[in-house]
Amino acid sequence: MLRFASRTVVLVSVVLAAASWAQVGLVPESTPQQDPRRRVDGHQLVEVRVNTQSQLDALLGLAESVWSENIGLGLLDVQLPPGAVEKLPELGIPHRILHDDVQSLIDAEWAEIQRRNTLRDISWYENYHNYTNVINYLNTLAAAHPTLATVEIAGQSIEGRNIPVIRITAPGDASARPVVFINGTQHAREWISTKVVMYIAESLLTGYGSDTRVTDLLNECEVIIAPIVNPDGFVYTWTNYRLWRKNRRGGYGVDLNRNWSVGWGGAGSDGFTSSEVYRGTAPFSEPETDAIRSFVESDGRVVAAIDYHSYSQLILWPWSYDYLDPPADELARFTDVAYAMRQEILNAGGVPYSPQPSYDLYLAAGVASDWFYGAANAFAYTIELRDDGFYGFELPPSQILPTCQENWPAFLYFAEQAIRPVVISIPGGAPATASTDQPTVFNVTISDAASSYEPGTGMLHYRVGSSSFTSAPLTSLGGGLFQAALPSAPCGSSIDFYITADSTDGRTVSLPSAGPDAPFTATAVEITIAFEDNMESGTGAWIAGVAGDTATTGQWELANPQGTAAQPEDDHSNPGTMCWVTGALAGSSLGTYDVDNGATTLITPRLDASPAQADGIDAWLVYYRWYSNDQGAAPNSDSMPIEISNDDGATWTQLELVTENLNRWERREFNIADFVTPTDQIRVRFVARDLSPGSIVEAAIDDVRLELRGCACAPADMNCDGELNFFDVLIFLDLFSASDPAADFNNDGEFNFFDVLIFLDMFSNG
Ligand code: 0X9
Ligand code: ZN
């Protein structure tokens, strides 16, 4: 049972009311008189590969600090003191030096911060700022938006510094609005996290009233942002040691992200004060974590949270303290929203962030996001910001703004999804083409973690050409999975569509969110199946295994797979049982028949895509794939390249590099011309590989097709003579008055004004 402590919240008097942003950005950082900062001259940043626990133990004895996320077997970034790197060969640990002198990284960063301090006209997000400056900037932001924001103090650190939070919501009574809580800098050295959450605060404040999504969001919820949860540690990184992680308890420090109660004391935390992951003497023994806990509990409205860290570019969901997943519907929601956030980041021109369960990285007991999810019942992620390890914690000031900009749309999406009760997604992506003679079927998921989906309200809305929208209910396939079917339509016509679902409290959620104002669009095309194999009738001309393959188990085979936690029990075809799979047997453990010690290659028969060289015809490759690499001792260290050749296998071009671990069949389709010129020498190969010992790799392929899609004649070219003229109009009118299906341009079974409209539309648009 949770104990909800009540706490009086102190309103901070807001200062600097009239200051402009630029002024605040130019407040000079205080430079200590005599520089007491600890130096780490000669320390090296080294990438190592540890294969055994005893190697890991020896390495941890040598290392000053582990920088990478992954404190386990496999690849690690470690900071080594002078002389340590020479000991790696005798321990049998292969290594690569990433930076020869960590101090020079720190010096370069400091020099750049000083240089930028002298620049005029740079925004607050183009340089790092110290604690005092952050607090001033936060107060200034609130003062500039007094109807939207208030700053409060959640509590004090061990050394008595304030832990501020800013509440942001639309004017009016906010007491019933759900709260989205985000924080930065639990870990002192992860400076970028403070910048990102401040940027989110400022974007919300400036977007209210001008950006409809922000306005809607703040009308519906309150966002609470704690930019610096660990003020003492943060100050210490500025004044004493740049690479300090923990709080300042006793001078040795407690890792605040091991001090939360859920799973406290377990794996990936330590009872020794000297450890980087020292958990403290009890859950919430530290005033910093306790302040946030009681703030959140006394508020009582938090429904979603993100704890921002750096680095590694990851989007992590629970659980972190053990190899456990949330219940299936909540897991689907975590997975879907995380992949959508990744896409938002990419769409903003950002760098790739990998979505995955926290435990995939390593177990870490007592982390904030487990507490938010497990104790506060919130939809909670940990996000590891830039970079991927080149600069690590010393992310150059030039990357602050890009990191903020890429994370803002991901946050906005997250907050919208988190406060809205129902989340709709299309797992394989919205179809880009539809058929001229049969419905185009695709899957839709409606994730319903909050049990607030109103059954039966899932709808597909579509229109052919510029007619009005028709609505059709989705067909339930069970477990939150639905099927939608676009109607067939005349070749070349466009079909706009969107999906909606209602929540039990009467709200309608739409995908895309703007519904009819910005729908998906598919183009109707004639589809000729040039090749199709559901794998039910033998291996045919498929090639399983090539010279150079190195896998010793789990080679590709055509079989009816035995289901495990990593591979499917059922193939994809219905009816059917057979698919290509990497070792079909289940074996005694997950690691028995997975891919081990190298690569195994599967190549399709030679496919003829040459008709696609004609005008208006595209050759599309369609397949269903299964991939799993998120279990075992070194999860997510492998990937499966899928490549295409147009010269019978002499050269290859990548179609996709599979890393998703959705543990379900996924449909993928590619327009071949986007990758290689379509020829009659097309082959596709699937390379499942285990490059990292200890990683479980399973893959499967089914239902491969080559489809030729296009329009032989323009849709209004009724006699198909390549010209649009009076004769086509005549033919159309004839067919129309005879109620011939060929004149039913919106395929609704009726012959009316809309069909004429669509015909005329197509006639005038060619
Ligand atoms: O170890 C942590 O606290 C976080 N990584 S960091 O490098 N910023 O310190 C990650 C915590 C998320 N949970 C797991 N990775 N299990
Ligand atoms: Zn961290």
Q: Ligand 2 centre and the CA of 311: distance in Å?
A: 7
Q: Ligand 2 centre and the CA of 256: distance in Å?
A: 9
Mean pLDDT by 10 residues, the chain (766 residues): 29 31 35 70 93 89 83 85 93 92 92 93 96 98 98 98 98 95 98 98 96 90 98 97 97 98 95 95 98 97 97 96 89 87 91 93 94 96 94 95 97 91 79 90 79 88 92 90 92 92 84 85 90 95 95 95 90 92 90 90 96 85 91 75 96 87 80 94 95 83 94 75 81 86 83 88 81
Ligand 1 pocket residue status of 257, Cβ below 6 Å: yes
Yes or no: say if 682 and 606 are a contact pair by the CB < 8 Å rule: yes
Q: Whose CA is nearest to atom 12 of ligand 1?
A: 358
pLDDT at res. 514: 74
Q: What does the alpha-carbon distance between residue 163 and residue 152 come to, in Å, rounded to a whole number?
A: 9
- Ligand 1 pocket test, candidate residues 65, 183, 230, 361, most atoms within 8 A of CB: 361
Q: Any catalytic annotation for residue 656?
A: no
What number does the ligand 1 atom closest to the CA of 245 have?
9
Nearest one of 288, 35, 305, 60 to 183, comparing CA atoms: 305
pLDDT at res. 427: 73
Q: What does the alpha-carbon distance between residue 520 and residue 239 come to, in Å, rounded to a whole number?
A: 53
546: phi then psi, degrees, rounded to nearest 5? -130, 165
Q: Whose CA is nearest to atom 5 of ligand 1?
A: 69
Q: Whose CA is nearest to atom 2 of ligand 1?
A: 257
Ligand 1 pocket residue status of 309, Cβ below 6 Å: yes
What number does the ligand 1 atom closest to the CA of 370 have?
13
Ligand 1 pocket residue status of 525, Cβ below 6 Å: no
Q: Considering Cα of 14, then 17, then 19, then 22, what sign does the dihedral take?
A: positive
> Which ligand is the nearest neighbour of the Cα of 256?
1
What number does the ligand 1 atom closest to the CA of 363 have?
16
Other residues' Cβ atoms within 10 Å of the Cβ of residue 488: 17
Q: Ligand 1 centre and the CA of 716: distance in Å?
A: 60
In DSSP terms, which residues pair with 459 in a beta bridge?
Answer: 473, 500
Q: Ligand 2 centre and the CA of 187: distance in Å?
A: 5
What number does the ligand 1 atom closest to the CA of 361 have?
15
Q: Ligand 2 centre and the CA of 382: distance in Å?
A: 9
Ligand 1 pocket residue status of 361, Cβ below 6 Å: yes
SS3 at position 476: strand
> Which ligand is the nearest neighbour of the Cα of 392?
1
Single-letter amino acid code for the residue at 627: Y
- Ligand 1 pocket test, candidate residues 356, 367, 383, 388, most atoms within 8 A of CB: 367
What's the DSSP call for residue 248? -
Parallel, antiparallel, or unpaired: how do β-strands 433-435 and 520-533 relate?
A: parallel
Ligand 1 pocket residue status of 187, Cβ below 6 Å: yes
Candidates 384, 406, 643, 666; catalytic one: 384
Prior bond to 512 cis, omega within 30?
yes
What number does the ligand 1 atom closest to the CA of 320 have?
16
Ligand 1 pocket residue status of 69, Cβ below 6 Å: yes
Q: Which helix (H) or strand (E) holds 686?
A: strand 683-689
Ligand 1 pocket residue status of 192, Cβ below 6 Å: no
Ligand 1 pocket residue status of 320, Cβ below 6 Å: yes
